[in-house]
């Protein structure tokens, strides 16, 4: 399995040791769990954003009718946001 060397400050290492000890796990497992959780969170946010973009695109006319004041004016058309 590929590995990654990560540098921590002395304080961070001590905190990691303490947390790992409190949880009854190794420092390696603790750091791996944290990274895996962040990866899962990132993927979920990406998927949620994509679902929102699809929903908004599908219902763009409905949003425009419901919120006409939020529609770009004619003078704004063609300009990048």
pLDDT for 22 beyond 80: yes
Could you give the CA distance from residue 51 to residue 61 in angstroms, rounded to a whole number?
17
Is the pTM for the entire model greater than 0.75?
no
- Distance from C-alpha of 49 to C-alpha of 68, rounded to nearest angstrom: 23
For residue 72, what pLDDT is reported? Answer: 87
Three-class DSSP category at 72: coil
- Mean of the pLDDT values across residues 50-63? 96
């Amino acid at each position: 399995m590929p590995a990654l060397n990560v540098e921590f400050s002395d304080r961070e290492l001590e905190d990691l040791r303490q947390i790992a000890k409190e949880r009854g796990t190794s420092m390696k497992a603790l750091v791996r769990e944290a990274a895996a959780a962040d990866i899962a969170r990132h993927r979920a946010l990406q998927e949620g954003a994509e679902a929102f973009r699809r929903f908004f695109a599908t219902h763009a006319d409905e949003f425009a009718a419901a919120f006409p004041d939020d529609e770009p004016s004619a003078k704004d058309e063609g300009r990048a946001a």
